[in-house]
Structure 1
Amino acid sequence: MSTPPTALGPLTVLDFSRVLAGPFATMMLADLGATVVKVERPGTGDDTRAWGPPHDDRGDATYFQSVNRNKTSVAWDLADPTDRATARAAAVDADIVVENFRPGVMDRLGLGADDLCAANPRLVYCSVTGFGAGAGAALPGYDLLVQAVGGLMSITGEPDGEPQKVGVALVDVLAGLFATVGILAALRHRDATGEGQRVEVDLLSSLLAALVNQGSAFTVAGVVPDRLGNRHPSIAPYELLRCADRDLALAVGNDRQFRSLCVVLGLDRLADDPRFATNSDRVAHRAELAAALGERLRQAPAASWAARLTDAGVPAGVVNDVAGAFRLAEALGLDPLVALPRPDGTTVDLTRNPIRLSATPARYLSAPPARPR
């Protein structure tokens, strides 16, 4: 059987990035067919190799494994002139270079964008920083810090509670995705013109862009959003409500869905109540609406309500843990896991790339590389 073609098959990537945002981007490129060589520090390797527990059955940190499949790894000490010369030669020969050092570090090493792009005008050079290369160049780009100063924590959590971070390093993931989009756009430009270019992504700008409606509430209307817990600032009912045994997620986005919700719950009167006639009315009276819905929902288990509401076209579901989320994806035929082969013949299960391409599907060649020597 012939191997399916890949979208990025001829391309080579030299990956100087560490931790999450940059490695996430290069893993996306590797899944789509690019050859990715990860540059790590001799001895210690990427910081996330030590970020555990949890570890797998071989003692490897699961954090590192989440963003480093389909790559090979080399150990080069960039402070050593010989290794640095080797790295420069590899970078000049590459199609793409990705790095997330603090601004100025790669320039001092002779591996900066200006130097390498002058040597290879077709090079696409991607830099991921925390706060840009200007006044924020010296600030450390940690996800928690960016969630805090970037406003995300101010809109996450209960109204009377403390600000909360999201349960995963979401800003790093977003920046990795933006970096991937930027690299692909630069490659498209190179295909048309033969010219490479520099791609710059920073964590703070990535977060501000991802605030979407919460951001435009401020930029357009001057409204500074606050924490609403699991409620939505502009839609109701769009929240968690308690049932007989646990919480139910309701995401009612229009009047038709609201009327169907009322019919299923046997609360037809609410659909005709002028306080709840439109979405704006429901938002204005969300507390009264939640109380009325909650009283009825507490009479049956959440899974029972979720099934009945889903059958009626009302977006609803129970609150799964991570194991339950994977079981759901499996039950829906989404095949969420892929088994990646290790050199010793064993495999490691990782989350499948969510992008499905009909002609050039993602590939899964190898588990994340062992620590380089």
Structure 2
Amino acid sequence: MTSNPAQGSALSGIRILDLTRILAGPWATQIMADLGAEVIKVERPDGGDDTRSWGPPNVTDDSGKDRGSAYFHSTNRGKKSVVIDIAHPEGQRALRALAKSSDVVIENFKVGGLAKYGLDYESLQQVKPDLVYCSITGFGQTGPYADRAGYDFLIQAMGGLMSVTGQRDGTSGAEPMKVGVALTDILTGLYAVIGILAALRHRDATGEGQHIDMALLDVQVATLANQAMNYLATGKSPTRLGNSHPSIVPYQAFEARDGHVILAIGNDGQFARFCKVAGMPGLAEDPRFATNPERVRNRGALIAILQGVMSGRTMDDWIARLNAASVPVGPINDVERVFEDPQVKSRGLRTAPIDSEGAMLQGVASPLKLSRTPAIPPKAAPDLGADTLSVLTDLLDKGEFDINELQAAGAVVLKGNQQ
């Protein structure tokens, strides 16, 4: 195991060489950084990770200094930034040395894209047999689409998610819709972490490394969950239902007197309690609505009745009454209201991470709460090349590498010298 200053954290002692950019890969490495792994993010000299320029909006620190795009900060906290030219032979040599001293390499280049640099799994396995190497692509390392570029929006469409997201056909605004965040990328990042942790467990038990092949399309199909099984069970493709649920009723948005609330009734007992609060206890005894399967079959009739009732009270009135009766209900918050929610505040999800120079920024906390090995205190995403000198000084063999020569050759760029 390699050394790491985050002693006592779950992944203390794990070093990750991060050759990813945009979202799926950086999301995976951010999670592992939260858990104490040392993540060395390798960025190109001409601007670094693409998302550094994906603004506005940009983040400012407590002194008012612009620290780059909010998008970049959303997925790169807790990492070290090293600028190395992957196309330069000396840059490749330095990267191979960094890989040899790392536990994990993670990359999201096109299939075969790193082989010409000697940075693919087969090449690095020769210098470090116990290396865990994770590749993230749109379609995987094999199959007829392997050479295609894959993006979240495209995969949400091809993987079926958009076919079940959006208003039902025949209603206003009906069309397939993407999710409001790049969910396939996020889910792929999560699965990549699971795969990496499993491979590290295997390495610790056997001394063997391995290659992890993660594909956005695979993840999207796998996470269709009940919708996929609904098709496999019936042979019928699920359709868009707006905010309704295909298998649970009532489980959707309703319009109250002054806005919308979500009613998420998951069992017959909750439905009976709802009917009592709504002043219609007999509705729960109606054979058409007494059980969830009957409510699904008679969805149209029930929703028409409930919408008429729900519109008679305010959002706050419904939320107070139904929560008191243990009926799941809640408002549809915009993001401002999310961060003002007392539960969100209590859980500490809004943070003020500090960067390597002591400046304070705004940020979002890790949701992982481990009693023995909690996530480390949040550290802000790094400036481009902020750690090039320190990482190379610490990890490269001084007998084999001269950092000044690497810089003069253009193989690496120290902070302040980026193009």
- Runs of 4+ aligned residues of structure 1 deviating over 6 Å after TM superposition are none
Q: Is the alpha carbon distance of 1:149 and 1:3 closer, same or farther for their aligned partners in structure 2, counting shifts above 3 Å?
A: closer
* Cα distance in structure 2, aligned partners of 1:48 and 1:9: 28
Q: Which amino acid aligns with 1:149?
A: M
Q: Which residue of 2 aligns with 1:130?
A: 138
Q: Which residue of 1 aligns with 2:242?
A: 229
Q: Is the alpha carbon distance of 1:3 and 1:137 closer, same or farther for their aligned partners in structure 2, counting shifts above 3 Å?
A: closer
The aligned runs of 1:29-178 (5 Å cut-off) are 29-57=32-60, 58=66, 60-134=68-142, 135-160=144-169, 161-178=174-191
Tell me the SS of whatever aligns to 1:24: helix
The aligned runs of 1:208-219 (5 Å cut-off) are 208-219=221-232
Percent identity between the aligned chains? Answer: 47
Aligned-residue offset at 1:227: 0.3
Q: Which amino acid aligns with 1:193?
A: T
Q: Does 1:338 align with 2:346?
A: no
Kindly tell me the number of residue pairs found equivalent between the two proteins: 372
* Cα distance in structure 2, aligned partners of 1:10 and 1:362: 14
* Cα distance in structure 2, aligned partners of 1:361 and 1:16: 26
The aligned runs of 1:150-299 (5 Å cut-off) are 150-160=159-169, 161-299=174-312
Unaligned runs of 5+ in 1: none
| Structure 1 stretch displaced more, 144-153 or 331-340 | 331-340
Q: Is the alpha carbon distance of 1:241 and 1:365 closer, same or farther for their aligned partners in structure 2, counting shifts above 3 Å?
A: closer
Asked if 1 retains the 8 angstrom alpha-carbon contact of 2:6 and 2:37, the reply is no
Unaligned runs of 5+ in 2: 61-65, 386-417
Q: Which residue of 2 aligns with 1:362?
A: 375
Q: Which amino acid aligns with 2:288?
A: R
Asked if 2 retains the 8 angstrom alpha-carbon contact of 1:329 and 1:336, the reply is no
Aligned-residue offset at 1:329: 5.4
* Cα distance in structure 2, aligned partners of 1:318 and 1:6: 36
* Cα distance in structure 1, aligned partners of 2:372 and 2:273: 40
- RMSD across aligned positions (CA): 1.4
Aligned-residue offset at 1:364: 2.7
Counterpart among 14, 21, 24 of residue 18 in structure 1: 21
| Structure 1 stretch displaced more, 214-223 or 305-314 | 214-223
Aligned-residue offset at 1:272: 1.2
Q: Which amino acid aligns with 2:267?
A: N
1:75-110 CA distance string (max 9 Å, x none): 111111111111111112210000000010011210
Tell me the SS of whatever aligns to 2:58: coil
Q: Which amino acid aligns with 2:41?
A: K
Asked if 2 retains the 8 angstrom alpha-carbon contact of 1:37 and 1:73, the reply is yes
1:183-214 CA distance string (max 9 Å, x none): 00001111111111111111001011111000
* Cα distance in structure 2, aligned partners of 1:331 and 1:141: 34
Q: Which amino acid aligns with 2:284?
A: A
* Cα distance in structure 2, aligned partners of 1:101 and 1:41: 13
TM-score normalised by structure 1 residue count: 0.97
Tell me the SS of whatever aligns to 1:64: helix
Q: Which residue of 1 aligns with 2:400?
A: none
1:123-154 CA distance string (max 9 Å, x none): 10000110011222221111000011111111
